[in-house]
Structure 1
């Protein structure tokens, strides 16, 4: 009995000690936590490059004429000094940017209009579910026949997979919109610009942002694929040319270029997300 009483008396003290330790413990998402995460990410990249270099020295890779990581990165450094490299990178980036912008302009208003009307949603649900399951690369031969090996062909094909995530998320935004916010805005006699900036945009952006992340990745993937299959100028056509002329190191250098471009775009989106959605609970917890 005495030991139980002593344990009960010591329990509040132990709980208070744990609380003090938790207050003084550095947060996982603080400067030390972020530094640790960056070091782990860098170590992962270095480990991947080391495995790539080791595998390139095996007999299997030698038969396939697979270059190592050092050789591919060295060839990438050589390409960085040429105007041809930046012209191809600019062409791919331009096609991707135009396709993504067109997808936003078309997909977001259409999705909001569908989500606001129950009848329109019921009448279009089956068509949307059917059309968005069609692989976008299946449209490349048709686009080649209609538009030829042009940048317009690449843009049109890249819009197809990018528009559907935006439409779907905009539909959810239209369905989940709180009508009370509109009434409050009207009661305060806000202007149309203020309603869009302070009421509609924050409410809609939280739903649309995941669709934008998916649309960004899909547009970039299909842009490179359309250039590779269709032969339009860009990273994809350079990959195809390197494969045709059996320039393995050049091929992997262009593949790394596409990877780095995707990482750069994702980093920019992450920064924009912290700036535009700073008020969201999921981000407020990370900023403490």
Structure 2
């Protein structure tokens, strides 16, 4: 109970700030400080958001966005983890591929939307490929960093006990790289969500991003703001869930144990 009260006390300032912003938004729209042609009131925006929740078409678009995001991040993880472990383990491969990796990962993922759209059209496949492209690099690079940061004594000890390469990777390299991998997954998940929605807005792929763009094009200002609020809430939920998952996975890590204590 004491821990719950402490967490509630820590979260109280954040809720107060959010409540203050919402009140200021509503007061600004009612007093004319925020022009109605640009800023709809908070009450009408939340009403439009509630209306979206009752629309089956909205949930269909939402599932299309979430599906492309989840599939893309999963494919990026399946490809990025083994490649990252290989690059981290083999110094020659790591050094020889750094220039190419640095070049590829510095290309803004949004910049390749027109190219991927030309190749695959405004489809789910286009979104998934874009998410994979953006989410792959943080996972792969963080995994490689984690493997390279492994204590050499542990590797030498595993070798002295006759562990094979696969068993060394499983029992020595993977646990050592896990904190780095979790960080890479959190970055990739957020980047992937941004890219999924961006591809819907810029590439006209099906999803909530396309619905928001259509509402904006049609002059439905309140509905557009409702989509913006929902996308922001979705990002908060994703970050909160990833934080919980990372704490559960890294329960043994000193940083998590100290925070819990």
Please give the TM-score of this superposition, normalised by the length of structure 1.
0.82
Contact 2:88 2:148 in 1 (8 A): yes
What SS class does the counterpart of residue 177 from structure 1 fall into? coil
Pairwise CA distance, 1:59:
4.6
Q: 2:60 aligns with which of 63, 87, 93?
A: 87
Residues 41-98 of structure 1 show CA distances to partners (whole Å, capped at 9, x for unaligned) of 2111111212222333465742633212221111111110110111111110001001
Residues 135-155 of structure 1 show CA distances to partners (whole Å, capped at 9, x for unaligned) of 111111111111011011011
Aligned to 2:161: 187
Contact 2:72 2:129 in 1 (8 A): yes
Superposed, 1:1-288 pairs within 5 Å as 30-57=3-30, 59=32, 61-62=34-35, 64-182=37-155, 183-184=157-158, 187=161, 196=170, 199-288=172-261
**Gaps spanning 5+ residues in structure 1: where?**
1-26
Rounded Cα–Cα distance in structure 2 between residues aligned with 1:150 and 1:60: 42
Pairwise CA distance, 1:200:
4.0
Pairwise CA distance, 1:161:
1.8
**Gaps spanning 5+ residues in structure 2: where?**
none
Rounded Cα–Cα distance in structure 2 between residues aligned with 1:269 and 1:278: 14
Give the CA RMSD over aligned residues. Answer: 2.4
Rounded Cα–Cα distance in structure 2 between residues aligned with 1:52 and 1:97: 34
Aligned to 1:5: none
Of stretches 111-120 and 145-154 in structure 1, the one that deviates more from structure 2 is 111-120
Contact 1:185 1:195 in 2 (8 A): no
Contact 2:147 2:174 in 1 (8 A): no
Residues 131-188 of structure 1 show CA distances to partners (whole Å, capped at 9, x for unaligned) of 1111111111111111011011011112222111112111111211235445449839
Q: Closer, same or farther in 2 for the Cα pair 1:180/1:270, shift >3 Å? A: same
User: Aligned pairs, how many?
Assistant: 259
Pairwise CA distance, 1:267:
1.6
Pairwise CA distance, 1:256:
1.5
Rounded Cα–Cα distance in structure 2 between residues aligned with 1:95 and 1:224: 10
Q: Closer, same or farther in 2 for the Cα pair 1:282/1:87, shift >3 Å? A: same
Rounded Cα–Cα distance in structure 1 between residues aligned with 2:90 and 2:159: 21
Q: Closer, same or farther in 2 for the Cα pair 1:189/1:122, shift >3 Å? A: closer
Contact 1:140 1:230 in 2 (8 A): yes
Rounded Cα–Cα distance in structure 2 between residues aligned with 1:195 and 1:119: 18
Contact 1:53 1:68 in 2 (8 A): yes
Rounded Cα–Cα distance in structure 2 between residues aligned with 1:63 and 1:79: 21
